[in-house]
Amino acid sequence: MATRANGSTLISERDTALIKTLSPSGTLETFAQVPGVVRGGEGGQLGLEIIERAGSEWLYAYTTTETDNRVQRFELLESSLGPAKTIIDGIPKAAIHNGGRLKAGPDGMLYIGTGDATDKDAAQDPARLNGKILRLNPDGTVPAANPFTGSPVYSLGHRNIQGLAWDSALRLWASELGPDRDDELNLVVPGGNYGWPEVTGAPHQEGFLDAVHVWISTAEASPSALAILRGTAYVACLRGERLWQLGLPPGEPATRGTLPDAEVALAGQGRLRDVIAVSESELWIATNEDVNSRIISLSV
């Protein structure tokens, strides 16, 4: 989901590559179809983000193609998409672990969460794009201040990033799927190495950054998205079929892995695919139940 300046919300469908628009009055219509998308496994039309620049709105779409995962940019016209421009390509694809989350940061940059695409070792290689958080200028160029000179890589050692969000102190947080255990909520720093596949969770191993919160059982989590509102992180989950809420510490956690226990904010609605804040007191949650998918409003 991504919200436009006119108050409508764009919603993507992974397998059809359709972009639908939900008007403020509640009308849902098909807006466009993203070109070049090849569905397969967890691949297809994945993340969406909107960035406003120079009086125009630009839609960024993370897509799986015949050969790779890539990010494409389109000018958002009144009732259609402008021509596609590839912002970055060559992100490895696979049946699983394609990542796909896109978020515009408070610094004006585009942040991209990628998965390891089943190549575990690539997550530890700064020269590879999979298993990373990437940061680009909105035009696709590499910011000069990135931690690895000339590289879009912002952080590494990730298995499958699914959620990105910033708190009021402008700190970046990320939710990440673990293997058969240790789903994570991470506080992300430039150049940080979060351990995959060498470590998961918070083992306090030298050279790697521990997760700030760990769900030991993936049956309770399998996080898919992340939103932060008034100092609280809300983590939407797939297998766990619930929305977790966690109060975030105001400064650097004294000991990583010791964030207070998570509480359930919503359950019983099936698999949760996305969560966004639409006001200072309301979240929208997208469910992931095939023909029964829906948007849920939650006051917080």
Task: Give pairs for 266-272: CB < 8 Å, separation 24+.
Answer: 266/242, 266/296, 266/298, 267/241, 267/242, 267/243, 268/241, 269/241, 269/296, 270/241, 271/224, 271/237, 271/238, 271/239, 271/241, 272/224, 272/225, 272/236, 272/237, 272/238, 272/241, 272/242, 272/243
Q: Which pLDDT does position 78 carry in this prediction? A: 86
User: What is the predicted pLDDT for the residue at 258?
Assistant: 60
What pLDDT score does 257 carry? Answer: 61
Question: Of 102, 100, 72, which is closest to residue 84 (Cα–Cα)?
Answer: 72
User: What residues form DSSP beta bridges with 241?
Assistant: none
pLDDT means per 10 residues, the chain with 300 residues, are 95 96 94 96 97 94 98 94 97 98 98 98 98 98 98 98 96 96 95 98 94 93 96 96 91 62 93 96 91 90
DSSP states along 229-286: ETTEEEEEESTT-EEEEEEPPSSS-SSTT-PPPPEEEEESS--EEEEEE-SSSEEEEE
Sheet holding 223-229, edge to edge: 223-229, 232-237, 242-247, 263-267
Cis, bond preceding 223 (omega within 30 deg of 0): no
The confidence score (pLDDT) of residue 256 equals: 61
Helix H or strand E segment including 39? none
The pLDDT value given to residue 110: 98
Q: How far is it, in rounded angstroms, from Cα 127 to Cα 156? A: 10
pTM of the predicted protein model: 0.96
Walk me through the domains of the chain, giving residue ranges and CATH numbers.
2-299 (2.120.10.30)
Paired tokens of 18 = 């359709």
For residue 292, the model assigns a pLDDT of 77
CA distance 190 to 34: 32
CA separation, residue 118 to residues 114, 122, 197 (Å): 11, 9, 11
